[in-house]
């Protein structure tokens, strides 16, 4: 049978919201203090998962409630986004600095690291204000009251039918959302034909992320083919995220190099630009080469026939299929070597 309805959608919604709202609440203190850089990452991950849940469970939660909660969560994630991006770039720059053997490259990279640290410190008050504003909104309390007051009755429970068509009909709004997100993801994959299409690659990354989180929210009532798809999307999202990081960092370094070479009037007088340019140039080239390598891996992975069969199997089974019953889609080959660092 394609889907085993072990939970009603209402019960699944309660469990999903409770899990990620608690994750968000636990991470907010660390984000506010700024002592743990991982806390901001966890806040943003929880926000993304909650927003995905609001979308796939909107018919259960109600449009007005979803709109209010989604607005509050989106604003929090947006306010913390720049800080998180800088945390990631600082870590990458630190790692690169530790690998440098040519002493002539060190001043430029060290200067860039100091610049990033200064920019990150300037953002922390903004992070604190965003956390305070979110807590005052009462969104977490409202979500908590909703899942405590919602009662799962026998009438709410979806029993397995053994018929994929009937099972899909019971989840029509959710299946429709998954189908739209799969269509958008596949359409965006056309950007991989052009290594220079940075905007297209950014859209592809977002589409992969949305499809992955929507599938994950519904995994308890989907078939095992969806589990294989989630693993593949994790790998795709990881590589696409690296590519996006390299694009952003390279653009920022471009501006920095132009500023240094032109004699930035805001720079300290003791700063010697001639010592900085070699390191900045080398760092920029490192990111450029790294992007090429990661993009090649991403494109090779996404053009596999196995992966195309996986997306086709999802569509044909209404996302309720079992990969163990399909001769076309095998979980192990598609998911070999998945990088699970990004979430």
**pLDDT tens, residue by residue, 100-154:** 999 999 999 999 999 999 999 999 999 999 999 999 999 999 999 998 887 655 5
* Confidence check: pLDDT of 204 > 80: yes
Q: Higher-confidence residue: 57 or 328?
A: 57
Number of Cβ within 10 Å of residue 200's Cβ equals: 16
CATH number of the domain enclosing 15: 1.20.120
Q: Supply the pLDDT for residue 258.
A: 86
Q: On the CB side of 237, how many CA atoms lie within 13 Å of its CA?
A: 19
Give the pLDDT score at 269: 63
**170 and 129 fall within a common domain:** no
Q: What is the mean pLDDT of the chain?
A: 86
Reported confidence tier of residue 310, pLDDT bands at 50, 70, 90: very high
Q: How confident is the model at residue 198 (pLDDT cuts 50, 70, 90)?
A: very high
Residue 77 lies in a domain: yes
Q: Over 60: is that where the pLDDT of 158 sits?
A: no
What pLDDT score does 322 carry?
A: 73
Tokens, residue 86 = 């800088």
Cβ pair 70, 54 in contact under 8 A: yes
Residue 113 lies in a domain: no
Given a cut of 50, whether residue 341 has pLDDT beyond it is no
| Angle, vertex CA 303, rays to CA 334 and CA 196, nearest 5 | 130
Place of tokens 């190099």: 257
Please check whether residue 89 lies inside any domain of the structure.
no
Encode the chain in three state secondary structure: CCCCCCCCHHHHHHHHHHHHHHHHHHHHHHHHHCCCHHHHHHHHHHHHHHHHHHHHCHHHHCHHHHHHHHHHHHHHHHHHHHHHHHHHHHHHHHHHHHHCCCHHHHHHHHHHHHHHHHHHHHHHHHHHHHHHHHHHHCHHHHHHHHHHHCCCCHHHCCCCCCCHHHHHHHCHHHHHHHHHHHHHHHHHHHHHHCCCCHHHHHHHHHHHHHHHHHHHHHHHHCCHHHHHHHHHHHHHHHHHHHHHHHHHHHHHHHHHHHHHHCCCCCCCCCCCHHHHHHHHHHHHHHHHHHHHHHHHHHHHHHCCHHHHHHHHHHHHCCCCCCHHHCCCCCHHHHHCCCCCCCC
Give residue 43's Cα distance to chain centre. Answer: 12
* pLDDT of residue 329 exceeding 50: no
Report the pLDDT value the prediction gives residue 268, as an integer from 0 to 100. 60
Contacts of 283 (CB under 8 A, 6+ apart): 93, 96, 105, 108, 109, 112, 253
Evaluate whether residue 51 is within a structural domain.
yes
Asked if 323 contacts 330 with a C-beta cutoff of 8 angstroms, the reply is yes
The answer to whether 251 and 288 have CB atoms below 8 angstroms apart is: no
pLDDT at 159 over 50: no
Residues 130, 195, single domain; the answer is no
Do 130 and 204 share a structural domain? Answer: no
* Mean pLDDT, range 242-253, rounded to an integer: 96
pLDDT for 327 equals: 41
Total number of domains constituting the chain? 2
- 178 in the same domain as 55: no
* 8-19 mean pLDDT: 90
Please report the pLDDT score of residue 223 as a whole number. Answer: 83
Mean pLDDT of 38-60: 95
Predicted local confidence at residue 153, as pLDDT:
54
* Residue 275, in any domain of the structure: yes
User: Is residue 266 over pLDDT 70?
Assistant: no
Q: Is the same domain home to 220 and 327?
A: yes
Mean pLDDT calculated for residue range 45-56: 96
Q: Do the domain assignments include residue 205?
A: yes
Q: Which range is least confidently modeled, 1-10, 102-111, 210-219, 222-231?
A: 1-10
pLDDT reported for residue 320 = 82
Residue 255 is assigned to a structural domain of this protein: yes
Q: Which of 157-166, 241-250, 323-332 has the highest mean pLDDT?
A: 241-250
Q: What percent of the chain has pLDDT over 70?
A: 84
If asked whether residues 193 and 286 sit together in one domain, one would say: yes
- pLDDT-derived band at 323 (thresholds 50, 70, 90) equals low
**pLDDT, position 166:** 54
Residue 106 lies in a domain: no
Q: Are residues 214 and 316 in the same domain?
A: yes
Do 251 and 322 fall into the same domain? Answer: yes
Residues 6, 138, single domain; the answer is yes
Question: pLDDT at residue 194 above 90?
Answer: yes
Domain membership of residue 130 as a residue range: 1-83+122-145
Q: State the Cα–Cα distance between residues 242 and 87, nearest whole angstrom.
A: 14
Same structural domain for residues 137 and 245? Answer: no
Assess whether 69 and 174 both reside in one domain: no
pTM of the model: 0.85
134 and 183 assigned to the same domain: no
Cβ atoms < 10 Å from Cβ of 120? 20
């Amino acid at each position: 049978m394609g889907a085993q309805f072990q939970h009603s959608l209402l019960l699944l919604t309660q469990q999903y919201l409770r899990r990620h709202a608690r994750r968000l609440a636990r991470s907010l203190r660390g984000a506010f203090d700024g002592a743990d850089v991982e806390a901001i990452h966890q806040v943003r991950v929880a926000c993304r998962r909650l927003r995905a849940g609001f979308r796939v469970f909107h018919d259960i939660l109600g449009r007005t409630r979803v709109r209010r909660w989604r607005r509050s969560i989106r604003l929090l994630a947006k306010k913390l986004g720049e800080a998180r991006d800088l945390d990631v770039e600082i870590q990458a720059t630190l790692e690169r600095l530790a690998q440098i053997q040519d002493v002539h490259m060190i001043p430029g990279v060290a200067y860039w690291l100091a610049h990033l640290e200064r920019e990150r410190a300037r953002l922390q008050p903004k992070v604190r204000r965003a956390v305070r504003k979110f807590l005052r909104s009462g969104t977490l309390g409202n979500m908590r009251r909703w899942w405590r007051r919602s009662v799962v009755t026998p009438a709410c429970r979806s029993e397995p039918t053994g018929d994929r068509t009937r099972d899909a009909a019971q989840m029509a709004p959710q299946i429709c959302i998954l189908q739209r997100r799969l269509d958008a993801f596949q359409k965006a994959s056309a950007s991989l034909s052009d290594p220079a299409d940075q905007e297209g690659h950014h859209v592809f990354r977002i589409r992969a992320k949305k499809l992955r989180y929507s599938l994950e929210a519904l995994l308890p009532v989907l078939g095992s083919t969806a589990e294989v798809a989630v693993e593949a999307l994790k790998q795709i999202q990881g590589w696409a995220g690296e590519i996006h990081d390299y694009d952003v960092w390279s653009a920022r370094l471009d501006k920095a190099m132009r500023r240094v070479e032109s004699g930035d009037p805001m720079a300290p007088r003791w700063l010697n630009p001639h010592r900085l340019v070699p390191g900045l140039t080398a760092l920029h080239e490192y990111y450029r080469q790294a992007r090429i390598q990661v993009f090649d891996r991403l494109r090779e992975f996404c053009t596999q026939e196995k992966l195309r069969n996986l997306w086709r199997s999802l569509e044909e089974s209404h996302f309720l299929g079992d990969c163990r019953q399909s001769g076309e889609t095998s979980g192990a080959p598609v998911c070999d070597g998945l990088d699970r660092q990004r979430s």
